[in-house]
Amino acid sequence: MKVMNQEKRTYYVNITDKTILTEPVDTPSFVIYATEKEIKVLQAVFEESHEADFATYLRAHIPNLEYHPVPENDQYDEVQKVIYSIIYHLGDAEAKRHIEQMGILTDKKSDDPEQIRQFR
pLDDT of 112: 53
Q: Is 72 exposed, middle or buried (CB count within 10 Å of its CB: 0-12, 13-18, 19+)?
A: middle
Task: Tell me the backbone φ, ψ of residue 53, rounded to 5 degrees.
Answer: -65, -40
Residue 114 CA to its chain's centroid (Å): 13
- Confidence check: pLDDT of 30 > 80: yes
Q: How confident is the model at residue 116 (pLDDT cuts 50, 70, 90)?
A: low
Average confidence (pLDDT) over 74-103: 89
Q: How confident is the model at residue 66 (pLDDT cuts 50, 70, 90)?
A: low
> Do 33 and 95 form a contact (C-beta atoms < 8 A)?
no
